[in-house]
């Protein structure tokens, strides 16, 4: 049986895969079984932020693999401690809990917020406000946090205690804070899966202010927008605000699974021993890779991300068949005359891998993608949209 058939027969059918088998990759190029070359504009959904098989990342991971691959959290180990230190120094957060995915990072954030509220306001202050169209993960609690009914169907009852506000409508958030006992508001700086919808400065500012006045914590979900993706180290930094809790995953590991829940001043000591945990969380190999990733996301690199973003936006704005472009940095959504799914399938034939988000084509390329490969991928898209 070929891989398509074996996969269809034995792997649970949770994914509508594109008809491509990737056998190897280098940078922003990858190859299928027949040797066909593709420009990768999705980076494994914002994970491979330095592309495939980046030498510096491999060296960091490999070095750790030869020292020890796992210890359990019963012992101290340097990669985990050093990564936490670096994340705190770069963000203003105070402590970090490590897990293995975005959903787990968000689970921990919700637990931290409820715990803080229980200790400071009362256990009945358990509600968390999220946005309609948001995406926060697939576990039953993060599914409840996800403000999209399509994902909720069939899986009731979900974890109770979630309320949904309209994105970029501060009044709708304030109304929920006024009307309920609320622990936290949880926001993505750019709604990624929800269709690449950026939050507006005035909305973010008003929500942060109102939450702070009312003793409500702010959790920022940077699973997709974090680690340089928006042209800032974390997306919230574009707004000049400081959240109480920041979650991230995807790009942090550069290709290995890791999740991080960063706890700010108010919540840095909510957890005591035994209140939360993860067997694999803070895995030294993943952490060593993540540390090398974070150390490379300096000001110069981030300004290059912003320049690439401006370049791509200009090219897309002038492209026939493009109705509009949204997003910040290298998380971009493109609304086209052609249905996004059809366009992405045709681009695969042309040798470029794009993603979709709702009705848009979504671009999440490696942050170090070259201008040459950007041009190549955009030319494929242009040809497809011209029909
Ligand atoms: C992908 C994503 C998640 C879930 O991450 P997993 O690693 O798949 O659990 C959560 N929040 C946002 C914003 C995401 O983009």
286-309 residue pLDDT tens? 999 999 999 999 999 999 999 999
35-79 residue pLDDT tens? 999 999 999 999 999 999 999 999 999 999 999 999 999 999 999
Mean pLDDT in residue range 228-249? 98
Label residues 327-345 b or e (16+ Cβ within 10 Å = b). bbbbbbbbbbebebeebbe
Per-residue pLDDT, 387:
85
The torsion of the CA quartet 337, 340, 346, 351, rounded to 10 degrees, works out to: 120
Q: Name the closest-CA residue to atom 11, ligand 1.
A: 136
Among 174, 165, 227, 228, which Cα is nearest to 199's?
A: 165
* Ligand 1 centroid distance, CA of 387 (Å): 34
* Ligand 1 centroid distance, CA of 220 (Å): 12
* Ligand 1 centroid distance, CA of 183 (Å): 21
* Ligand 1 centroid distance, CA of 54 (Å): 23
The model's pTM is: 0.98
Cα separation, 191 vs 205, whole angstroms: 17
Q: Is the pLDDT of residue 207 over 90?
A: yes
Please, what is the average pLDDT of the chain? 98
* Residue 9 phi, psi dihedral angles, 5° rounding: -80, -40
Per-residue pLDDT, 1:
74
What would the DSSP string read from start to end of 17-37? --S--EEEEEBTEEEETT--E
Alpha-helix residue ranges (DSSP H) falling in the chain? 3-10, 43-46, 55-67, 78-91, 102-120, 140-145, 149-152, 170-179, 201-213, 284-296, 299-317, 340-350, 371-386
Q: Determine if ligand 1 sits within 6 Å of the CB of residue 226.
A: no
Q: Name the closest-CA residue to atom 5, ligand 1.
A: 102
Q: Cα 278 vs. chain centroid, distance in angstroms?
A: 20
Q: Determine if ligand 1 sits within 6 Å of the CB of residue 190.
A: no
Q: Is the pLDDT of residue 162 over 90?
A: yes
Q: Determine if ligand 1 sits within 6 Å of the CB of residue 251.
A: no
**Do the Cβ atoms of 97 and 109 come closer than 8 Å?**
no
Read off the tokens for 302.
Answer: 């981030």
% of residues, the chain, pLDDT over 90: 99
Read off the tokens for 324.
Answer: 């509009």
Q: Determine if ligand 1 sits within 6 Å of the CB of residue 137.
A: yes
* Ligand 1 centroid distance, CA of 386 (Å): 33
* Ligand 1 centroid distance, CA of 274 (Å): 25
Q: Determine if ligand 1 sits within 6 Å of the CB of residue 197.
A: no
């Amino acid at each position: 049986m070929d891989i398509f058939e074996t996969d269809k027969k034995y792997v649970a059918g949770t994914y509508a895969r594109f008809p491509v088998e990737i056998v190897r990759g280098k940078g922003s190029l990858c190859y299928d079984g027949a040797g066909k070359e593709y420009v990768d504009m999705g980076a494994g959904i914002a994970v491979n932020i330095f592309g495939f098989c980046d030498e510096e990342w491999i060296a960091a991971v490999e070095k750790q693999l030869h020292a020890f691959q796992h210890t359990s959290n019963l012992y101290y180990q340097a990669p985990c401690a050093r990564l936490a230190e670096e994340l705190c120094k770069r963000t203003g957060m105070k402590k970090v809990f490590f897990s293995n995915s975005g959903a787990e990072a968000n689970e921990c954030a919700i637990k931290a917020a409820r715990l803080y509220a229980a200790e400071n306001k009362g256990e009945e202050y358990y509600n968390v406000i999220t946005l309609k169209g948001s995406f926060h993960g697939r576990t039953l609690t993060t599914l409840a946090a996800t403000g999209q009914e399509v994902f909720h169907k069939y899986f009731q009852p979900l974890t109770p205690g979630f309320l949904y506000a309209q994105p970029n409508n501060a009044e709708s958030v304030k109304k929920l804070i006024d009307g309920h006992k609320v622990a936290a508001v949880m926001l993505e700086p750019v709604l990624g899966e929800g269709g690449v919808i950026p939050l507006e400065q005035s909305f973010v500012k008003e929500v942060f202010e109102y939450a702070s006045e009312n003793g409500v914590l702010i959790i920022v979900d940077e699973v997709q927008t974090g680690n340089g993706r928006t042209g800032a180290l974390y997306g919230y930094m574009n707004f000049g605000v400081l959240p109480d809790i920041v979650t991230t995953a995807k790009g942090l590991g550069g290709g290995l699974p890791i999740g991080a829940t960063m706890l700010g001043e108010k919540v840095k000591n909510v957890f005591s021993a035994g209140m939360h945990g993860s067997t694999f969380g803070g895995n030294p190999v993943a952490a060593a890779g993540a540390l090398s990733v974070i150390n490379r996301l300096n000001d110069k690199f981030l300004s290059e991300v912003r320049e690439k973003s401006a370049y791509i936006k200009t090219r897309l704005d002038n492209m026939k068949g493009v109705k509009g472009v949204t997003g910040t940095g290298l998380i971009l959504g493109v609304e086209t005359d052609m249905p996004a799914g059809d366009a992405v399938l045709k681009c695969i034939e042309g040798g470029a891998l794009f993603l979709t988000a709702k009705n848009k084509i979504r671009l999440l390329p490696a942050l170090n993608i070259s201008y040459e490969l950007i041009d190549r991928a955009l030319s494929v898209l242009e040809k497809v949209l011209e029909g």
